[in-house]
Amino acid sequence: MPKMQWNKILMEIKPQYIVDEQNHKTAVLLDIETFEKIEEVLENYALYHLMEDEDADDDILDVEEAEEYYKRLTTSSSPAEKQ
């Protein structure tokens, strides 16, 4: 992702903090739009590295195949499926 887009995303984060009795930060609240942007960036980053880490002997995936492979990986490790 180009640096300009990262800066735009980072500048839009407006966290709200949950604090304990001693005023220590214990959690962060983000609006859903910000959370979804962060989630997308992390997924794209992981997908990029999955594609980069492929060995030369392995089949090379095109973008659609890589996205489908990544979705299968994230779906199979979903906490909801483990319950």
Greater pLDDT, 70 or 4: 70
Domains: count for the chain: 1
pLDDT digits (tens, 9 = 90+) for 6-42: 666 565 788 999 999 999 999 999 999 888 888 888 8
CB atoms within 10 A of CB 66: 16
Domain span at residue 69 reads: 3-82
What 3-state class would DSSP assign to 17? strand
**Which run of H or E residues covers position 6?**
helix 3-12
What pLDDT is recorded for position 82?
46
CB atoms within 10 A of CB 38: 14
Residues 52 and 9: their CA atoms lie apart, in Å, by: 24
